Structure 1
Amino acid sequence: MSSERVTSDLLLTLVNTRPSENGRVDQLDDVPGLTAWLAGAGLTVADPVTGADVAAARELRDALTDILRVHCGCGDASAAEAEAYLRAVAVRYPVVLRVTVDGVTAEASQTGIPGVFGTVLAAAADLSARGAWPRLKLCKNPSCHAGFFDKTRNQSGQFCGAACNSQMSMRAYRSRRRTAPTP
């Protein structure tokens, strides 16, 4: 698995903890939810997770979601707020550069939950350095809005998968049929 895929997976698993109209529940609703997400993402922390950690994780998730919303062309009303928030988060949870003969990587400089948030920011920095940051988008299906990695050559992907693409195509078709004049 490429490191681009690993870093995008970490960001997308965080973004996709949001609730949706298609039945996805908020996975960061409480301490057990954040603990389960951490375990599922392969991230470990020594200290117990607190309610403040859950609130901070939701804020980080929501800011990343706003950025992905801009990437898909779904609106930019909160992009400035999201960018400002992420800049503040980067100050609170700094990353350091690790330089080796193989290259340079960004890593969290702290441990615990601050280290987890730093790891998320390092993943975003890695994707940006590879030119892949704009490929992280939200599905344009209003009932889904799942985060996805756009694998299209020209970065024109709009839906997380074939099911959402088909559903939106059918909605558009039905809408055209309703508004078309009858002969």
Structure 2
Amino acid sequence: MNQDNNNEKNAVAKSFLAAMSSSEFWEVVQKCKRFDDPADGQENKLAKLQPQQVAAFKWHLENFVCAAYSWDMWGAAYMLRSGCSEDSFMNFLYGLVSQGKRRYEKAVHNPDSLAELWGQPDISSEDYCYVPRRVYAEMTGQEIPDNCWIVPGTLTGEYFSDTPIDAMCDELLARTQF
């Protein structure tokens, strides 16, 4: 049964990767950044694609969010935002992806690098999650396929609390009021 599930996931991944590579995904994200609100840019750019590409964009988006789903990243979001619920953290991750490949990869590798966002407007973007769904529905009259939605698993890394958070993100801690 588990092998069948893995085979199905691999088939889904292949179909989405055939429609849009991860490089193409990041190109679209980069073009969206030219707009004041990346979600507005996303809607503009996705409307020019084929429905399967929009679904593939959503699939990539969810995979990158899941890859960043860690306690260290949550700790960084918590410090940047002076608190962070689970929903708020997910919106933060969507916003992080909307910032582009370079910032995303830098933050995933070292969440403390998000200190460069200190004092800037919040990057969180709930809309970035839902735009592909809306655009796909407008194009096809149908809901985006269920296999585009990926639910993050268990947070990776070690649980943070206010006490050991200073060991996670030194630069961010230096800029906060903890």
| TM-score bracket relative to the smaller structure | under 0.3
Higher RCO structure, 1 or 2 (CA under 8 Å, sep 6+)? 2
The structure in which a higher percent of residues are helix is 2
Q: What TM-score comes out, normalization by structure 2 length?
A: 0.26
Instruction: Look at both structures and tell me which one has the larger radius of gyration over its CA atoms.
Output: 1
Q: What TM-score comes out, normalization by structure 1 length?
A: 0.25
